[in-house]
Amino acid sequence: MKLLICGSGIAGLFTALSLSGQGHDITLVERDGPPPEAADDTEGAERAFFDWERQGAAQFRHPHAFLGLMCSLIEAHHPELLEALIAAGARPIRFTDMLPPGLRDDYEPAPGDEKLWVMSCRRATIERVLHKHVTALPDVRLLSGRTVEGVVLEEGDGTPRVAGVKLAGGESLLAEVTLDATGRTSRFPRWFRDAGIAIAEEKDDAEIQYFTRYYRLKPGYSEPPREGGGNGDLGYLKYGVFPGDNGHFAVILCMAVAERELRQAILRPELFDDICRQVPGLDRWLDERAEATTDPAGIGDINAVWRHFVEDGAPKLLDFFAVGDAHLRTNPLYGRGCSTSLLHAHLLRDVFGADMDPVRRACAFSERTRSEIRPIFDASLADDKRAIVRAGHEIDGTPAPTGVGASVKGALRDAVSAAARENIHVMRGVMRSFNLIEPPGAFMSDWKTRAIIARYLLRGRARNQEARRRVGPDRNAMLDYVRSLTEGVSAA
């Protein structure tokens, strides 16, 4: 078929990669320009991060988690791409690297462990290498610097058909199948609505905003040990270190939108590092070993979104598919977007290979998306809702619920956390869920896991809570410190 993919970010490139080699003629259309030219991979990684204008990807310079689902799919289906990523500085972090010292000493490999790995890399580096790899494929062509401004619709037998898109300047690009990979700001739903085609949408606000600052290790310095800090949750503040490629790393601070005083301080470069140094685990990353390479940058409008392109077994449109964030998205704080985008692209490839009837094809893609990605979406949404409630108690100063139901759930979470740190079997299950190798929480259906966690429940919650104990200042102490900083800056 003649395929038109709108957007050449992560989702668009993964879609082209997955559909390549199947006999299709694939065109990518992208409003931004290509990555800057470079003499080698190291220079290319630096220029991609600092110089590439990516107005179409608001999260381009924020940290990304490249989880086991994405990494294992690349390793299994696109090994040459994996080699290129590693050559550009991306670092595989294997299951054994993530084990606490007590589990690492007695570790024995088990089937499936090879899928439990993540990739440490900046998104700019991933996207540059992926861009170069995909656009070199013989059945793919890229039109850069072209803005899509509308959609071409044809009347079908009761169901409209998407025949292509309209570009700025009046030109139309026609195709047998049009794919929307334009991400979280997709304008296709609005264009369909203007044409009288309503795409039902679920949308839930996560009520958070997060802030990123990038750093580079100075010559002669290395990263601090991973154990014992660098990622955590203080209730009012989530934080994390994202090691990258070529000596770079990022620090992320996340809080409720209602935390106005803290948010305003974090945006000031002279205060960001001081605030981070109050959090044990972050402080050792920001000592003399590192220098900042960017100012703090925030991202908001964080919603869980699911669009329904098929309703009651009937497609709303034919020969149109939305992939990645244009179809569904979860809170990026959980790092699931890149993995679900590649999975979504592979599902589309399978559907295209199985059936050419437009109606059955649309229904099959909708059903595969629901069965394989909806559990990830639902788990992320449930995490968002719990975080909203918890943040509200922190800000209001009210205690968390203490009823029987809340107590049982809390005790179970504490038991799972403690068991995952101390028992390799439970750790594997947790990591399979975390890396999306299986549906979130599926490890709890294993009888051996349930038996181990039951033993941890019996030993008492107080002991298990040590695994989830907060290490760092409480909200009032942090706000007092922020006020002292802002007063000092104002006085100076």
> Which structure tokens are listed for 473?
């200042």
Q: What are phi and psi of 196, to 5 degrees?
A: 85, 15
Does the domain made of 2-64+122-203+304-378 have the CATH classification 3.40.50.9100?
Answer: no
- 213: β partners: 251
Best CA proximity match to 295, nearest among 200, 212, 391: 212
Dist. CA 220–CA 218, nearest whole Å: 6
Residue 106, burial from CB neighbour count under 10 angstroms (0-12, 13-18, 19+): exposed
**Domain regions of the chain by residue span:** 2-64+122-203+304-378, 207-299, 404-468
| Helices within 136-185 (DSSP H only) | none
Dist. CA 376–CA 383, nearest whole Å: 11
Helices 68-77 & 337-354 angle (0-180, nearest 10): 40
> Which structure tokens are listed for 199?
């795409």
Q: How far, CA to CA in Å, does 331 sit from each of 41, 310, 320, 385?
A: 31, 23, 25, 11
Q: How far, CA to CA in Å, does 444 sit from each of 286, 404, 407, 439, 448?
A: 38, 21, 19, 11, 9
Contacts of 129 (CB under 8 A, 6+ apart): 41, 81, 84, 85, 88, 90
Query: Would you give per-residue pLDDT tens digits along the chain (492 residues)?
Result: 999 999 999 999 999 999 999 999 999 999 999 999 999 999 999 999 999 999 878 889 999 889 999 999 999 999 999 999 999 999 999 999 888 888 888 899 999 999 999 999 999 999 999 999 999 999 999 999 999 999 999 987 789 999 999 999 999 999 999 999 999 999 999 999 999 999 999 999 999 999 999 999 999 999 998 766 678 888 899 999 999 999 999 999 999 999 999 999 999 998 999 999 999 889 899 989 999 999 999 998 899 999 999 999 999 999 999 999 999 999 998 999 999 999 999 999 999 988 789 999 999 999 999 999 999 999 999 999 999 998 888 888 777 666 667 778 888 989 999 999 899 999 999 999 999 999 999 999 999 999 999 999 999 888 888 766 667 899 999 999 999 988 765 555
Contacts of 212 (CB under 8 A, 6+ apart): 61, 62, 63, 250, 251, 252, 294, 296, 297, 298, 299
Q: How far, CA to CA in Å, does 197 sit from each of 160, 162, 315, 329, 385?
A: 9, 12, 11, 21, 31
Q: Structure pTM?
A: 0.94
Best CA proximity match to 344, nearest among 57, 65, 69, 138: 69
Q: Which amino acid is at 93?
A: I
Which sign does the torsion angle of CA 126, 130, 133, 135 carry?
Answer: negative
Q: How much is the CA Rg of the chain, to the nearest whole Å?
A: 23
Dist. CA 438–CA 189, nearest whole Å: 31
Residues 308 and 199 sit within 8 Å (Cβ to Cβ):
yes
